[in-house]
Structure 1
Amino acid sequence: MSRMLSKLDGLPAGLRQWLTSKMLGRVVPMVGTAGLRFEEVSSQRVVVHIRNRKPVQNHIQGVHAAAMALLAETATGFCVGMNLPDDKLPLIKTLKVNYLKRAQGDMKAVAQLRPEQVEQILTLDKGEVTVPVQITDSTGAEPIQCEMVWAWVPKQRKA
């Protein structure tokens, strides 16, 4: 995935973000359907936004709970995916979301890996990692807290 995105490195920031969002929305179709937008994608940090718009709203005109979980899952998953060798497959193992308060407006997820976590992903044949993620709304509040555990396995099963 990092090789694919590196082709965009020389482009202006706005165009690079738009193309990154389009490309990653094709890798994971649900990401494109929900209209998630990638602000930053690197081997250690991924920042993703979702606008509070009608297709992703709940009955009280806020971002739907499932869309909030998708936002967290996407940021953490791409954080892992940016480090996985091509012969490995990322799999969500645990998705835990605590809804603490009503969210206001648009939302942002920031997922980050520590250097030792990146090293594990790069070197172990299979394993798992808890990826920290912070979800904020347009007021800067954290309406949800998440714990995302990602595993990786070889794409081809050994006979």
Structure 2
Amino acid sequence: MSVLSTYRSLARWPAGRWLFSRLVCWKAPYFSSIAPRIEVLEPGRCIATLRHRRAVTNHIGTVHAIALCNLAEFTGGLACDASIPGSMRWIPKGMTVAYLKKAVGTMRATATPAFPPREAAEGYELPFEVVVENPAGEAVFKATIAMWISPKG
């Protein structure tokens, strides 16, 4: 069962998106450190939130920069998985980030591909753009994640 079909089957139930978020963190335990919550997962887009709490706070009282990077990789990876053809696989190859303003409150990340994924006989790079906004809807962080898309096999 694909990540997207699992999400779709769970999301329609009460607490289904919460459960799916926990399952992703169980499969990739490092993401548990930020306790992300998925709001939307569909081909071409993933939206997830990160609650501002002590575990992700830095010395100046804002959401830690690396917690924002983790949220970007979480949403970018899920968006990629939900978007690429079933015959292809992905792995992050690199990430560039920009910290735009202090991150305070629940962060909301939206990840989208720079162009539509395609099936291919050889690997190619597909950038995913991630914008993280504060509760006022202001962009506080942006990332571009270079995903390497290649045929399974």
Same fold (TM over 0.5): yes
Interval of TM-score (by shorter of Structure 1 and Structure 2): 0.7 to 0.9
Q: Is the 8 A contact 1:111 1:131 kept in 2?
A: yes
Report the TM-score when normalising by structure 1. 0.83
29 and 155 in structure 1: CA distance in 2 versus 1, 3 angstrom threshold? farther
SS, match of residue 138 in structure 1: coil
**Given residue 80 of structure 1, which amino acid in structure 2 is its aligned partner?**
C
Structure 2: gaps (5+ residues): none
CA distance in 2, matches of 1:9, 1:100: 32
Task: Quote the residue 1:28 is aligned against.
Answer: 28
Following superposition, the deviation at residue 76 of structure 1 comes to 1.2
Change in Cα spacing, 1:85 to 1:28, as seen in structure 2 (3 Å) is farther
| Separation in structure 1 between the aligned mates of residue 101 and residue 83 of structure 2, nearest angstrom | 33
Whole-angstrom CA distance in 1 between matches of 2:142 and 2:49: 16
Residues 73-125 of structure 1 show CA distances to partners (whole Å, capped at 9, x for unaligned) of: 111111111134556432112200111221221211011237x513x1xx124
Q: Which residue, 137, 140, 154 being the options, matches 2:137?
A: 140
Helix, strand or coil for the counterpart of 2:10?
coil
* CA–CA distance in structure 1, aligned partners of residues 12 and 97 of structure 2: 37
Q: Cα–Cα, structure 1 residues 141 and 9, in superposed 2: closer, same or farther, change >3 Å?
A: closer
Aligned to 1:4: 6
Query: What SS does the corresponding residue of 2:40 show, helix, strand or coil?
Result: strand
Percent identity, please: 26
How many Å apart are 1:154 and its aligned residue?
3.9
Normalising by structure 2, we get a TM-score of 0.85
Change (3 A) 1:9 1:142: closer
Q: What are the equivalent positions in structure 2 for 1:7-156 lying under 5 Å apart?
A: 7-12=9-14, 15-85=15-85, 88-113=88-113, 117-118=116-117, 120=118, 123-125=119-121, 126-156=123-153
Structure 1, unpaired ranges of 5+ = none
* Cα distance change of structure 1 residues 136 and 124 upon mapping to structure 2, 3 Å threshold: same
How far the C-alpha of 1:151 sits from its partner, in A, is 1.0
Amino acid across the alignment from 1:143: V
Q: Count residues with an aligned counterpart.
A: 150
CA RMSD of aligned residues (A): 2.0
Q: Give the Cα separation in 1 of the matches to 2:113 and 2:95.
A: 17
Q: Which runs of 4+ in 1 moved over 6 A?
A: none
Moved more, 96-105 or 63-72: 96-105
Q: Distance in 1 between matches of 2:4 and 2:129?
A: 20
Amino acid at match of 2:4: S
